[in-house]
Structure formats: C-alpha cells, structure tokens
Amino acid sequence: MNVLKLPLASEAVDRAGELRLKPDELAKLWKSARILHFASGKFRVKANNELDFQSADQILELRDKAEFAQGEELFLGIDNGTSYFAWCSDAEDFECFELLENYQTLRTLGDHLSQLEMGLAIHSQAIANWHHSHQFCARCGLPTVSANGGSLRKCSSDGSEHYPRTDGAVIVLVKDKKDRILLGRQKVWPERRFSCFAGFVEPGESFEQTVLREVFEESGIKLEEITYLGSQPWPFPASIMISFSAIATNPDDAIPDGEEIEEIRWLSRDQMRESIADESLTLPPNMSVARKMIEFWYENEGVDASSKR
C-alpha cells in the first residue's frame, strides 16, 4: 500500500472486468446505470459542482444535440449493486460554448469529489482521452471501434486489438542528510512555483533507474536510499505518477540544468516557512503528488517514510 495518502489514488468501484466480454449484460446494466457525461475534457455537474449522474434516458436526450451525439459508452464498474458508466462525447471544438455551461474539469472539481466519484472520474477521463487519440489502427491506418465495454479498441479491417496505455512517470523527494529537501523550478511554471523532480520512464528503464537519471540530469545530484512512497493516476492525459524519496550523496553540487530547470533550492523547514511567508516560493496545487510529498516531509520531521510504518 501507499505510504503517502494521495488524492487521486482513490478506492474505486469494482471494475467487474468479467462483464466486459458480455455485451448483452452490459446493455441491460446501462438501462439502470448512473452515467457520467464527459465532453471536451469536462464533466457534467450540478449547480453545487457535484457530479451530475445521468440516466440512460437523459443521455439519449443529451445526444439530441449534434455535439454530444457521437461518443463511446464506457463501463466503469459496479458498487453496491449500482452500475456506473460514462458517455464520452468526442466533440472537441464546440462553436457553441453555452453547451458546456454545466461542465467542469477534474482539476476544478478535485477537492469536492468523494472517493467513489474521484475514482469514477479519473477512470472516465483517462480512458476517454485514450479513445479520443486512438481512432485509427496503428498497423494499417483504418478506423478502430470501441469494444469490451470500452476497455479496448479493435481494428475494423484487420481485427487487431489495441489496449489503453498509461505512461509511467517518477517523482522524487530529494533530501540531504540534514533533512533538507531540494526543489526545482521549471521555466514554464507560474512565477515562484517550486516542486519536486519528475520525469517519464524511458523504454527499458526500471523506476529506480529513471529516478537516478532524471534527478542527475536536472540537478547534478546523485542519489542513494531510494524509497517507494506511493503512486497515483494522473490522467492529464495518460500518466501514472510513481513517488519516491531519496538521499543526495553530493548535496553541494546541486546545479540547475538550465534547460528544463532554471533554479533549484535546498530548503530546511524554517526556510520553507519563511519563503512561503515572504512569497518568494509557492507550492504545487493540492491535487498534485508533489504537494503531498512536500507536506509529508514537512510534517514528519526526522521520521523517514520507510521507518514510519
């Protein structure tokens, strides 16, 4: 289990994968399901920003609008006898923005969702993003169609099956032996934002190798004592963040790469407090893994993640 409690790593519904191969049963479940509507990167919500689950009949009504007519039925799973689906409309460029008046992004809704809703929304968004960008067969270029409750796509010509992909990315809480942490600043971030070091796993790499490579590339720091902290999906558009802490063996050599990272800082707890107070530093948003990692360090003085359990 995760050492860190991560906001997007939700206890979700039973995905009931065995039903994906039973289209008749899925069709029956759809009729009484609670259905999320995901369109143009946003979820349908009520006035109070709660997710607005639709009935099958309400989805039919929504589909009267040309922009929502086309899409995919995605089976999300079952919880306490209730089945959950998403209707993911493919329309991207609406000319009529009023259509999306009652829709919000996951980033906006993040803090307001229950664990169940978060799990459903994350699953919907991740798989809808994938469907959207895999409309054609990577082998022959002809159209693919959704199959098995939306869990894969099949080529309409050669029958080849295409499965959703998730891109692994590591994120690292770099510490020194004085229990300071090293944060970096990317040029593209909002002003004064600092965060942990992160990067995508390359083909042929283990997570631990990625941790060593990314942190060295971006900061010149070499690491030891790599410890797993937890993971959470990050469907913006298709990642999973795998979180580690590690100890720097050459803390005095920290230097930004000047490409991706423009500034780096070692921070003690006192320095962190002061920098936030004098507004020379802001932390990443609440929903992010990095924020939880930094808070975890801040609140657990002298207690290593691995020995806390």
Nearest to Zn ion of 81, 141 (CB atom): 141
Residue 21 or 140: which CB sits closer to Zn ion?
140
Radius of gyration of the chain (CA): 22
CB of 147 to Zn ion, least distance (A): 13
Q: Which helix (H) or strand (E) holds 133?
A: helix 115-133
The yes or no reply on residue 161 touching Zn ion (CB under 5 A) is: no
Contact between residue 201 and residue 191 where contact means Cβ atoms under 8 Å apart:
no
Q: Using the minimum distance from each CB to Zn ion, give the nearer residue, 156 or 268.
A: 156
Taking the least distance from each CB to Zn ion, the nearer of 66 and 138 is 138
Tell whether residue 33 is a contact of Zn ion (CB under 5 A): no
Under the criterion CB under 5 A, does residue 139 sit at the interface with Zn ion?
yes
Using the contact rule CB under 5 A, the part of the chain among 8-16, 54-62, 151-159, 235-243 near Zn ion is: 151-159
Reading the block at residue 112, the tokens are: 């307001």
∠ CA 80-118-183, rounded to 5°: 145
Q: In whole angstroms, how far apart are CA 73 and each of 76, 78, 157, 172?
A: 10, 15, 21, 37
Nearest-approach distance from CB 159 to Zn ion, in angstroms: 8
Candidates 4, 33, 155, 261; binder of Zn ion (CB under 5 A) is: 155
Instruction: Assess 158 for contact with Zn ion (CB under 5 A).
Output: yes
Both tokens of 237, joined, read: 């558009």
Give Cα 210 to chain centroid, integer Å: 19
- Which residues lie below 8 Å from residue 63, measured CB to CB, with a gap of 6+? 69, 71, 87
Binding span for Zn ion by CB under 5 A among 137-145, 200-208, 232-240, 268-276: 137-145
For residues 208 and 184, give the distance between their C-alpha atoms in angstroms, rounded to a whole number: 20
Cα 38 from Cα 72, distance rounded (Å): 10
Task: Give 155 or 241: the residue with its C-beta nearer to Zn ion.
Answer: 155
Those residues whose C-beta lies under 8 Å from the C-beta of residue 131, and which sit 6 or more positions away, are: 72, 74, 88, 90, 146, 150, 153
Residue nearer to Zn ion on the CB measure, 158 or 202 = 158
Which listed residue (21, 140, 145, 303) binds Zn ion by CB under 5 A? 140
Region near Zn ion per CB under 5 A, out of 2-10, 107-115, 152-160, 234-242 = 152-160
Size of the site for Zn ion (CB under 5 A): 6
Which residues make up the interface to Zn ion (CB under 5 A)? 137, 139-140, 155, 157-158
